[in-house]
A and B are shown apart, each in its own frame.
Chain A
Amino acid sequence: MDFSILTDNFGLYLEGFKNTIIASVIALVSSFFLGVIVAVMRISPVKVLNWLGTGYVEFFRNIPVLIITFFFYFGLASIGIELDGLKAGTTALSIYTSAFIAEAIRAGIMSVPKGQMEAARSSGLSYNQSMRLIILPQAIKIVIPSLGNQFINLVKNSSILGVVAGLDLMYQADLISARAFVTFDVYLFVAMFYLVLTIPLSLGVHYLEKRLARSH
């Protein structure tokens, strides 16, 4: 392995690493909020909200994230709305991931005993208040490990930014390999940058899962 590739292009690698992290973190936060809204819609007693929530989850879970990215990058550009690759990709990642997070949170809500809702309602809280103050805080605690897993997937999936010139690690790698006339070593270092993020995250999630399993 030729370490001069890493040292000569360290600025580009770091720039890509930074953008990969930024895109993943922004997408995690926005997909979390979207996911909570959709999860609440899916279990809502209002039929229309219920259908909308279910349709959203089933549609976005079953199509490739690349297609959603193309829609925001090429699709919108074709009708005159130009988003740069970083914005288009991050938006697509947020929408795609929110479908999975919604399912995780819905499962979390279902796992909170029914008596909690009944108790909250009979203490005089409205449905919305009970959901927000009693059910959701408990549900979210249960789903923290699966949110962690979604974050790992996000970091990996953020590599599609490279396909739409999104300035992430994959994109910078393309620039570096065009400049250095090598591919093998360039991408080995890219792999290491990804592993620096994903391996500690995996270990953390594994630890949380074990702790949660013990507490039950």
Chain B
Amino acid sequence: MDFAGAYSAGHLKFLLKGFGVTLEVAIISIILSFIIGGAIATVRYSRITFISSLLAVIVETIRNLPLLLIIFFTYFALPEIGLKMPITAAAITALTLFESAMLAEIIRGGLNSIDKGQIEAARSSGLNFIQTLRYIILPQALRRMVPPIVSQFISLLKDTSLAVVIALPELTHNAQIIYGQKNSYVIPMLIMLALMYFIVNFGLSQIARRLELKRV
């Protein structure tokens, strides 16, 4: 095991560049997922009968599939029906599809956790449904959703590593390129890779824990 060779300045710089891509893809995906998941959750929460049930089926189907399959499908299968995307766009699309379904359930759980009496009180004070949602339900629900959303973001950061199968130049992919040069680099590289993911995710999980404690 050649630790000194594996951890040369050039290699570390290359890893950090990969980590930049990991963060970029994860952040774009979580923002898009929050918007789409929020929209899905709101529609399901308001129980518009037909669309609500249709969305329930779609969300459950996606949540019950492996993310790796969705990434693979987006990049390799969709071109067969004329939907060809560059690697980064395919990765973001696949992650967003999967995470939207996950976040939709988290957000719906947050909305449902608000006592129904509050809706009735708001409605009988003369607010309409949208106003009730905006001024009464959302401000309370959003605060409760923050810790699980941070946990979901940690999952997402870990899950971006799956995009190695479509050669997205993120952290894991770049590490593979480095240890591909020499057998003695493999274990040192994998250790460095684990440490980099660990530091960021552990930090985030501590933030999530603190937020959770504050709430109680």
B76 to A78, Cβ gap below 8 A?
Answer: no
Q: Assess whether A97 is interfacial by the CB under 8 Å rule.
A: no
Determine which of B69, B162, B202 lies in contact with A191 in the assembled complex, contact meaning CB atoms within 8 Å.
B69
Q: Assess whether A66 is interfacial by the CB under 8 Å rule.
A: yes
Residues of B within 8 Å of A160, CB to CB, are 68, 162
Stretch with Cβ within 8 A of A (4 or more), from B8-16, B114-122, B137-145, B180-188: B180-188
A79 to B1, Cβ gap below 8 A?
Answer: yes
Residues of B within 8 Å of A74, CB to CB, are 179, 186, 190
Residues of A within 8 Å of B184, CB to CB, are 78
Q: In the complex the two chains form, what is the Cα distance from A78 to B185 in whole Å?
A: 9
Stretch with Cβ within 8 A of A (4 or more), from B48-56, B86-94, B192-200: B192-200
Number of interface residues of A (CB under 8 A): 41
Residues of A within 8 Å of B161, CB to CB, are 64, 66-67
Residues of B within 8 Å of A75, CB to CB, are 186-187, 190
Residues of B within 8 Å of A59, CB to CB, are 194, 198
Residues of A within 8 Å of B172, CB to CB, are 64, 66-67
Determine which of A58, A78, A182, A184 lies in contact with B183 in the assembled complex, contact meaning CB atoms within 8 Å.
A78
How many contacting A-B pairs (Cβ < 8 A)? Answer: 112
Determine which of B73, B80, B164, B187 lies in contact with A182 in the assembled complex, contact meaning CB atoms within 8 Å.
B80
Q: Which residue of chain B has the shortest Cβ distance to A62 in the bound complex? A: B201
Shortest distance from the beta carbon of A16 to any chain B beta carbon, whole Å: 12
Interface residues of A in 173-190 (CB under 8 A from B): 177, 182-184, 186-188, 190
Q: Assess whether B165 is interfacial by the CB under 8 Å rule.
A: yes
Shortest distance from the beta carbon of B52 to any chain A beta carbon, whole Å: 17
Q: Assess whether B4 is interfacial by the CB under 8 Å rule.
A: no
Q: Assess whether B81 is interfacial by the CB under 8 Å rule.
A: yes
Stretch with Cβ within 8 A of B (4 or more), from A26-34, A112-120, A195-203: A195-203
Shortest distance from the beta carbon of B85 to any chain A beta carbon, whole Å: 14
Q: Assess whether A157 is interfacial by the CB under 8 Å rule.
A: yes
A62 to B72, Cβ gap below 8 A?
Answer: no
Residues of A within 8 Å of B187, CB to CB, are 71, 75, 78-79
Q: In the complex the two chains form, what is the Cα distance from A64 to B64 in whole Å?
A: 19
A156 to B158, Cβ gap below 8 A?
Answer: no
Most B CB contacts (10 A, CB to CB) among A62, A77, A156 go to A62
Interface residues of B in 52-98 (CB under 8 A from A): 60-61, 63-69, 72-73, 76-78, 80-81
Q: In the complex the two chains form, what is the Cα distance from A62 to B199 in whole Å?
A: 8
B201 to A63, Cβ gap below 8 A?
Answer: yes
Q: Assess whether B154 is interfacial by the CB under 8 Å rule.
A: yes
Q: Which residue of chain A has the shortest Cβ distance to B186 in the bound complex? A: A78
Would A159 and B179 be within 8 Å (CB), given that A64-B161, A79-B187 are in contact?
A: no
Most A CB contacts (10 A, CB to CB) among B1, B68, B193, B201 go to B68
Q: In the complex the two chains form, what is the Cα distance from A184 to B68 in whole Å?
A: 15
Shortest distance from the beta carbon of A167 to any chain B beta carbon, whole Å: 15
Shortest distance from the beta carbon of B99 to any chain A beta carbon, whole Å: 14
Would A63 and B198 be within 8 Å (CB), given that A78-B187, A184-B77 are in contact?
A: yes
Shortest distance from the beta carbon of B131 to any chain A beta carbon, whole Å: 32
Determine which of B1, B64, B165 lies in contact with A152 in the assembled complex, contact meaning CB atoms within 8 Å.
B64
Q: Assess whether A56 is interfacial by the CB under 8 Å rule.
A: no
Shortest distance from the beta carbon of B71 to any chain A beta carbon, whole Å: 10
B198 to A62, Cβ gap below 8 A?
Answer: yes
Task: Other than A67-B172, A186-B77, A191-B69, give 13 A-B pairs with Cβ distance below 8 A.
Answer: A61-B205, A62-B202, A63-B194, A63-B201, A64-B158, A75-B186, A75-B190, A77-B186, A78-B186, A156-B65, A159-B68, A170-B72, A184-B81
Top 3 closest A-B pairs, CB basis? A159-B66, A62-B201, A78-B186
**Can you pick out 6 interface pairs between chain A and chain B where the beta carbons lie within 8 Å of each other?**
A63-B201, A75-B190, A163-B68, A183-B80, A187-B77, A194-B69
Residues of B within 8 A of A (CB): 1, 60-61, 63-69, 72-73, 76-78, 80-81, 154, 158-159, 161-162, 164-165, 172, 179, 183-184, 186-187, 190, 193-194, 197-198, 201-202, 205
